[in-house]
């Protein structure tokens, strides 16, 4: 089974433009993320897929592999699908470019889904993290997921789901946006038109669910440290120092 990691990387992020080129302990955020992915030793190949010649040159000049997108894309999955089409791979892992502190154990557990799925019933696997504070549950930036039997995803939402009617004590799980796809599933589902649920919640995974793809969720106890704001970058620098 050939496993390839793809790191989609946009230069002009909405909340923190050029964040991937910011210095983090002597190297840019995107280079640190790329090297962290390589150092897990879980992937046969690791690529950065980008719309920016600046990021492309940054990766290549630091000895990495990068692919320059031929066109604009609505999502990271769409960007990866274009790049992976001619690359030999069985499983494609979407690694977030702004999360340089990669947890190897979580990725290993994600990949185990496919290694143990002899009938190839799972199309996509992703991670979830248990949350409990009311603030986190109600924050629309925290995407929540509910699962059914065998931890297969039923729905994703920015709203608190499930709704605790009669003040019942529900469990809440935050979706962590690292995906592992069977290559053909990725190529197929990214050719589908945007579904109304995806348009409503601005969540691409709802396109996959609405079209019948099976998403297996894997519970992790490691919440990733992402860099979305200058404050996040400051905290990441402190983490490296300590």
Q: What is the pTM of this model?
A: 0.92
Which residue from 93, 52, 235 is spatially nearest to 176, judged by alpha carbons? 93
pLDDT for 188: 95
Task: Name the helix (H) or strand (E) containing 182.
Answer: strand 172-182
pLDDT for 73: 64
pLDDT for 27: 96
Q: Are strands 153-157 and 144-147 parallel, antiparallel or unpaired?
A: antiparallel
Q: Are strands 91-94 and 172-182 parallel, antiparallel or unpaired?
A: antiparallel
CA distance 185 to 81: 10
Count of C-beta atoms within a 10 Å radius of residue 24:
21
pLDDT for 150: 92
Helices (H) and strands (E) in the chain — how many of each?
9, 11
Query: Which domains can be identified in the chain, with CATH numbers?
Result: 1-102 (3.90.550.10), 103-176+184-223 (3.90.550.10)
CA distance 23 to 157: 33
pLDDT in tens, the chain (242 residues): 999 999 999 898 777 889 999 999 999 999 999 999 999 999 999 999 998 999 999 999 999 999 998 777 667 788 899 999 989 999 999 999 999 999 999 999 999 999 999 999 999 999 999 998 999 999 999 999 999 999 999 999 999 999 988 877 889 999 998 999 999 999 999 899 999 999 999 999 999 999 999 999 999 999 888 898 999 999 999 998 88
């Amino acid at each position: 089974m050939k496993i390839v990691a793809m790191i989609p990387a946009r230069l002009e992020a909405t909340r923190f433009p050029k964040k991937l080129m910011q210095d983090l302990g002597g190297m840019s955020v995107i280079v640190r993320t790329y090297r962290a992915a390589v150092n897990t030793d879980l992937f046969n190949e690791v690529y950065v897929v980008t719309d920016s010649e600046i990021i492309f040159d940054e990766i290549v000049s630091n000895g990495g592999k990068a692919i320059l997108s031929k066109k604009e894309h609505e999502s990271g999955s769409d960007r990866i699908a274009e790049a992976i089409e001619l690359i030999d791979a069985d499983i494609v892992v979407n690694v977030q470019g702004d999360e340089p502190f990669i947890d190897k154990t979580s990725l290993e557990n994600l990949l185990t889904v496919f290694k143990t799925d002899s009938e190839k019933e799972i199309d996509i696997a992703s991670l979830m993290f248990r949350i409990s504070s009311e603030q986190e549950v109600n924050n629309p930036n925290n995407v929540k997921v509910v699962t059914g039997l065998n931890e297969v995803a039923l729905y994703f939402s920015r709203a608190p789901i499930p709704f605790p009617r009669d003040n019942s004590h529900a469990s809440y799980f935050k979706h962590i946006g690292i995906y592992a796809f069977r290559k053909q599933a990725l190529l197929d589902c990214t050719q589908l038109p945007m579904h109304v649920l995806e348009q409503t919640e601005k969540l691409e995974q709802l396109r996959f669910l609405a079209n019948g793809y099976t998403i297996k969720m894997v519970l992790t106890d490691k919440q990733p440290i992402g860099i979305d704001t200058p404050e996040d970058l400051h905290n990441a620098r402190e983490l490296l120092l300590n």
